[in-house]
């Protein structure tokens, strides 16, 4: 499984991505869960015309596009009812995933762990790319996902609202609209 993970990381880095995500603490997450979550997150962003690259610590290069650190942590206080948070207004915005909360939320259905992690990552990366802490009335950028949202994630990913797509693509300088 580790070999598949490394192939995925190298392949995503080689494409010339719009956004490069630098991970730290990723060893908290089992490789199978992490690989599936990153793959799903990349696929969901690709659907709106945004290419992601995932890297494990290392020097940034000019080919890295927008760079976002992603930290996987446990034991953080605060942020009640959240599985992650971002600081989109900081000079170097960071996405922080509280993996212990994802474990707790998926305790009864561990087979959904990668899906929940993917959606959580997408939501927080969306905040950073939009440079906003605002939420949408529906979809991936909704403030609080309902039980039916969680159920739906298992067979069809939540999507971005049109205005979210336009904001993300505009921030990245990708002006053409994706259909």
Domain chopping of the chain, boundaries: 2-171
DSSP string over 131-176: T----BSSSTTBSS--HHHHHHHTTS-----HHHHHHHHHHTT--S
pLDDT at residue 47, as a whole number: 95
Cα 77–chain centre separation: 21
State the chain's maximal CA–CA distance in angstroms. 43
Return the half-sphere exposure (C-beta side, CA atoms, 13 A cut-off) of residue 92.
7
pLDDT at residue 63, as a whole number: 59
Is it the case that residue 18 has pLDDT exceeding 80?
Answer: yes
105: exposed, middle or buried (C-beta count within 10 Å: 0-12, 13-18, 19+)?
middle
CA distance 155 to 83: 21
Is it the case that residue 142 has pLDDT exceeding 70?
Answer: yes
Superfamily of domain 2-171: Collagenase (Catalytic Domain) (3.40.390.10)
Highest mean pLDDT among 16-20, 66-70, 94-98: 94-98
pLDDT at residue 1, as a whole number: 46
Summary mean pLDDT of the chain:
87
pLDDT at residue 93, as a whole number: 93
- Report the candidate in 102, 112, 130 with the shortest Cα–Cα distance to residue 28: 102
pLDDT confidence bin for 84, thresholds 50/70/90: very high
CA distance 49 to 36: 20
Which residue would you say has higher pLDDT here, 32 or 56? 32
What's the whole-model pTM score?
0.88
pLDDT confidence bin for 56, thresholds 50/70/90: confident
């Amino acid at each position: 499984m580790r070999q598949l993970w490394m192939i995925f990381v190298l392949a995503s880095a080689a494409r010339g991505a719009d956004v490069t995500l630098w991970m730290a603490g990723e060893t908290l997450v089992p490789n199978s869960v992490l690989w599936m979550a990153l793959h799903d997150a990349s696929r969901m962003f690709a659907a709106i015309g945004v290419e992601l690259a995932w890297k494990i610590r290392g020097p940034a290069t000019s080919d890295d596009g927008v760079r976002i650190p992603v930290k996987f942590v446990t034991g953080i206080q605060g942020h009640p009812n959240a599985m992650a948070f971002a600081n989109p207004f900081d000079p170097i915005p960071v996405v922080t995933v509280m993996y212990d909360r994802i474990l707790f939320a998926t305790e009864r259905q561990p087979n959904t762990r990668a899906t929940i992690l993917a959606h959580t990552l997408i939501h927080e990366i969306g905040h950073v790319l939009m440079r906003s802490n605002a939420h949408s009335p529906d979809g991936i950028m909704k403030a609080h996902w309902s039980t039916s949202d969680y159920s739906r994630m298992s067979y069809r990913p939540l999507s971005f609202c049109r205005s979210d797509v336009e904001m993300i693509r505009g921030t990245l300088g990708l002006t053409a609209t994706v259909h």
